[in-house]
Amino acid sequence: MFYREAGQFYTSYAKDQGIFQLKQDKFGLWGILFIAFVVVPVGLYLMVQGGLMAASTKDYLYNSIFLLLLVNSMAALGLNILTGYCGQISLGTAAFMGVGAFTAYKFSTGLNYRIQKEDEAGELISQLVPMLPPIDNPILLVLIAGLVTAVVGVIFGLPSLRIKGFYLAVATLAAQFFLVWCFSRVEWLYDYVSSSTIQIPPLKLFGLVVTGSETVMRDGQEVTIYPAAETKYLICLSLVVFFAFVAKNMVRGRIGRAWMAIRDMDIAAQLIGIRPLATKLLAFAVSSFFCGMAGAMSLIFYLGALEGAEAFNINESFAVLFMVIIGGLGSITGSFLGAAFITLIPIFLVVSLPWLGGQFGIPVDAAMVEHIQFMIFGALIIIFLIMEPLGLARLWQIGKERLRQWPFPY
């Protein structure tokens, strides 16, 4: 009864075209944003100050859970645009994330290239020469990473005109394997370091340290300032929230309609004047833009240092596809729900299984936890797909419909 549309009328199309049809939804969203932006950081800060929580636990929540969740949400949004809205299955998500990460890295170090020459003694002298001034603004880096990835995504989207369905899905693996190979083979990408590992240099935003550390003189003493987990979290959160709105706007407007038309019936879509190649490529571009940003965020905020071939391997692609499907294809909310499910369930199982085993007096070692976790996770996915193939977003909707009537039967 608290969740009813009764009494809410719209007198203009502008209002009727709004994102939320119901006041309750709108309030709910503002509430969630308030919690995410204010209650969480302030609350955790106060809890640590008040001694209710260890500082390391706060770090853990931010660094291992919230940031990962935000990165995954961004990637899931991206893939959902391509797969959920435009109907093109892609298994190359991780590789596109990798493109984003390496782009961010290259721009943050000024697009170095190497000059090698031999000196008189026959020793090789190599020197890195920057092509551009290094960029130290993380948000700018994330956006550039998105744009470059969009271009790469378009290139690998080209076969989608001819190849459809699962054949396309497998064909996108070509992008996955090729790009990942580049991450470990094209020396320019990782500034020629022998291990092909990249590490983001120190970055700052509005004077706040975001990555690396900074040593300053304060009261005549050297003080090293480390990035606060809150800073990273709030930047990531802002990016994700903003681009979730962008995604929502795209999919509810003409672009989204064109995508969905291609998804639902591409022949009919063509006959009403939708250009299939342009529309699909736009979806690849936008999707890759999001995935690229996710990759850059993963490097800058979450991992800091990574090895391309390992961090963006094919299992990550599958994980993101899982998020999208479990969350609900063609749903922005679903992308978040799916990312939360896939990110949090394994962590939850890992943490809770030993405790649970302890309750029953069964010692559960780490390997056993991992095995059981995999089994439960696999089984959960199957059960879930059987019970609600349309995903968490659909469950959410059903829940809302129930709530609409509750507590009355009609």
Q: Exposure string (b/e) for 184-198, b if CB count within 10 Å is 16 or more?
A: beeeebbbeeeebeb
Q: Which residue has the tokens 């304060």?
A: 218
Max CA pair span of the chain:
91
The nearer residue to another protein, 264 or 405, going by C-beta atoms, is 264
Choice from 38, 54, 129, 223 touching another protein (CB under 8 A): 54
- Confirm or reject binding of residue 61 to another protein (CB under 8 A): yes
Binding part of the chain for another protein, among 96-104, 137-145, 321-329, 401-409 by CB under 8 A, reads 321-329
Closest to another protein by CB, 166 vs 406, is 166
Task: Decide whether 129 or 385 has the Cβ nearer to another protein.
Answer: 385
Q: How far is the CB of 64 from another protein (least distance, A)?
A: 4
Ramachandran angles phi, psi of 29, nearest 5°: -65, -45
Residues in the chain: 410
The identity of residue 144, as a single letter, is I
Interface with another protein (CB under 8 A), residue from 113, 230, 318, 357: 318
245 neighbors 71 (Cβ within 8 angstroms): no
- Tell how far CA 273 is from the center of its chain: 33
Name residues contacting another protein, limited to 79-98 (CB under 8 A). Answer: 83, 89
The answer to whether residue 53 forms part of the interface with another protein (CB under 8 A) is yes
Interface positions, 280-299, toward another protein (CB under 8 A):
none
The stretch near another protein (CB under 8 A) out of 74-82, 139-147, 192-200, 401-409 is 192-200
- The Cα 178–Cα 368 span in angstroms is 35
Q: Which two tokens stand for residue 266?
A: 């591409």
Could you give the string, one character per residue 3-42, with x where binding to another protein holds by CB under 8 A and - elsewhere? ----------xx-xx----------xx--xx-xx---x--
**Is residue 133 part of the contact set for another protein (CB under 8 A)?**
no
Please report, as residue ranges, which positions from 390 to 409 form the binding site for another protein (by CB under 8 A): 396
> Which of 154, 309, 395, 403 is in the footprint of another protein by CB under 8 A?
309
Residue 305 phi, psi dihedral angles, 5° rounding: -135, 140
- Applying the rule CB under 8 A, the residues between 105 and 124 that interact with another protein are 109, 122, 124
Tokens of 187: 């020396």
Task: Report the SS3 class of residue 164.
Answer: coil
Kindly determine how many residues on this chain lie close enough to bind another protein according to the rule CB under 8 A: 139
Residue span binding another protein (CB under 8 A) among the ranges 74-82, 137-145, 379-387, 402-410:
379-387
> Would you put residue 114 in left (φ > 0), alpha (ψ -120 to 50) or beta?
beta
- Binders of another protein among residues 330 to 369 (CB under 8 A) are 330, 332-333, 336-337, 340, 344, 347-348, 350-352, 355, 365-369
The answer to whether 275 touches 261, Cβ cutoff 8 Å, is no
Q: How far is CA 57 from CA 41, 51, 351, in A?
A: 13, 11, 13
Q: Which of residues 197-226 bind another protein (CB under 8 A)?
A: 197, 199, 201-202, 212-215, 224, 226
Rounded least distance, CB 161 to another protein, Å? 9
Give the DSSP H or E segment for 86: none
Q: What SS3 state is found at 387? A: helix
Which of 120, 194, 361, 409 is in the footprint of another protein by CB under 8 A? 194
